[in-house]
Amino acid sequence: MTTKPLNLVLLWHMHQPDFRDPASGEYLKPWVYLHALKDYSDMVAHLERHPQMRAVVNLVPVLLEQIEDYASQLREGTLRDPLLRLLASPSLEGLADAQRTLILEQCFLANHAKMLDPFAPYRRLRDLAQGVAGLGHGAQRYLSAQYLADLLTWYHLAWTGETVRRDEVEVARLMAKGEGFTLADREGLLGVIGRVLDTLVARYRALADRGQLELCCTPYYHPIGPLLLDLGCVREAQPEAPRPAAPEYPGGHDRVGLHLRWAQESHTARFGVAPVGMWPAEGALSTDFAALLERGGVRWTASGEAVLMNALHSAGHEPNRDRDLYRGWTLSGSPGLRCFFRDDRLSDLIGFEYKDWFGTDAAIHLVTQLTDIAERAPEGVTPTVSLILDGENAWEHYPYNGYYFLNELYQRLGAQAAITTCTFAELLDPEARPGQAPPGVLPRLVAGSWVHGTLATWAGSPDKNRAWDLLVAAKQAYDRAAGRLGPAKALRASRQLGACEGSDWFWWFGDYNPGPSVEAFDRLFRTNLARLYELLEVPPPAELDEPVSRGGGMAEGGGAMRRAT
């Protein structure tokens, strides 16, 4: 145990892209409500149970919009998610083949070792499905309505958070029953889902109102700001990277400004105060993007460790991790914006490694790593460690959704007098957190993200560049048409363009992702672009009829590099 002080900032980033069909509002994937039921509910519950813990939670506006939309659907009974409609269906007899296929394909998409295998009735459902699949085309019709009811119920039970299972008697009852689920059982489960989603955002606000959390956000539709400002910046960290054919994204500066303003307005409306800081989409920063954030009133931002190291190398400095990583930084051209950088090693231990440890051992190890950092700090200097990672994707790989690890970690951090959990906003005030090293000054940033310090995950390969060229063409059509639209139509078109500018479309293009997921995101990206042309009252180009991705992707069952969905 150290007696030397250390500031610890835990930033949990919550994000899902817009999964709604842009014309009908029908949800094409269920990941928003499933992650809300399992992960976002657990994360807030852990903080509620440990009031001594302080943290930063980043809530992307387009995610909050969808959570609130789902809560409204469940209150009113007007479900626009096909999986929820099937769960609520009075009868599962005589389903169309497409509905059966949806149930059988979707309801096994989870981490089998942690979310399916622990439950014998769910394992039996999987074994039956595999046996029927071996009988050839059409054999699934022999699976009964009761089988489908049980599979739908177990899938949603598997996606309940561990805290939901402990707090909701109905979930415990259904898990104990195990099979033969009735319509009343399924309706009871729908009631649980509705209660969780209906109170979720308010629970985060309550923690922020009492000062335990700092809530921050990301530009509205989660765009990669540096690329919208300058497509060529993909080469700053990788000079040989192929770039899109388009020389630039037209009007990118104004578009990033809109995403920023929309995010600040929606955050203020939901939480009563404007966000002090912003976690940029994928931690992607550049010098120009940082300047835009500062002009927009953002006082802190953050990125990955490799972005800092690249900036130091670019300035001719030899990085020293202990000296450079555990402090704040400013940019010489943006002195009002404080930049913090993620400890990649410790953050990735949580994200990827501790899932295979006993929860207590992992928590002890992490606290020991933090005390070692404190001990190495110069006398009189309080280091600041930033642990930043997704608040949803790691937990399905942990036993019990990470319950025991997080519970033990929060308890141990609370018991460490020398380790102070705090927020980035607090660190802006040297009197509130004395002993910090004064912020360093960087001449410039090398454009990059929290993924290896580059932008290669979103541009620089043939499929990703092809997607950018389609988006640039759509933006050019928008620029030509927007002036002749009335204000209401122009706003709808601008919002639809914002959805097309989101980062996730570009992330999914790549053979490191499962082929079916790539195909699904490919279709949804082109559907969003086609909807934009429709709102502009312009015929869409023929290229939108052809898949963007021309690679094979991983086989079904392969894991994505970072995303759980």
Q: Where are the domains of the chain?
A: 14-40+60-200
Alpha carbons 141 and 219: distance in angstroms, whole number:
46
* pLDDT at residue 561 greater than cutoff 60: no
* pLDDT at residue 557 greater than cutoff 50: no
Mean pLDDT of 143-166: 98
Alpha carbons 514 and 484: distance in angstroms, whole number:
42
pLDDT digits (tens, 9 = 90+) for 15-59: 999 999 999 999 999 999 999 999 999 999 999 999 999 999 999
- Predicted pLDDT at 96: 95
pLDDT over 70, % of the chain: 97
pTM to 2 decimal places: 0.96
**Taking the mean position of all CA atoms in its chain, how far away is CA 92?**
33
Strand-pairing partners, residue 177, are: none
pLDDT digits (tens, 9 = 90+) for 499-544: 999 999 999 998 788 889 899 999 999 999 999 999 999 999 999 9
- Predicted pLDDT at 559: 34
Strand-pairing partners, residue 525, are: none
pLDDT over 90, % of the chain: 92
pLDDT digits (tens, 9 = 90+) for 445-481: 999 999 999 999 999 999 999 999 999 999 999 999 9
Query: SS3 for 348?
Result: helix
Neighbouring CB atoms inside 10 A of 245's CB total 11
Contact 293/278 with Cβ under 8 angstroms? yes
**Angstrom distances, CA of residue 275 to CA of 354, 425, 430:** 31, 10, 20
For 27, the token pair is 């949800």
Angle at 246 between CA 240 and CA 252, to 5 degrees: 105
- Predicted pLDDT at 2: 59
Among 403, 412, 407, residue whose Cα is nearest residue 371? 412
Name, in order, each residue with C-beta under 8 angstroms of 116's C-beta and a sequence gap of 6 or more.
108, 110, 122, 123, 126, 158
pLDDT digits (tens, 9 = 90+) for 187-210: 999 999 999 999 999 999 999 999
- Beta strand 329-331 pairing with 334-341: antiparallel
- Predicted pLDDT at 14: 98
* pLDDT at residue 246 greater than cutoff 80: yes
Alpha carbons 133 and 154: distance in angstroms, whole number:
19
For 54, the token pair is 């302080």
Contact 550/511 with Cβ under 8 angstroms? no
Contact 256/498 with Cβ under 8 angstroms? no
* pLDDT at residue 366 greater than cutoff 90: yes
- Predicted pLDDT at 564: 33
**DSSP code for 335:** E
Q: Average pLDDT, whole number, for the chain?
A: 95
Mean pLDDT of 283-298: 98
* pLDDT at residue 124 greater than cutoff 90: yes
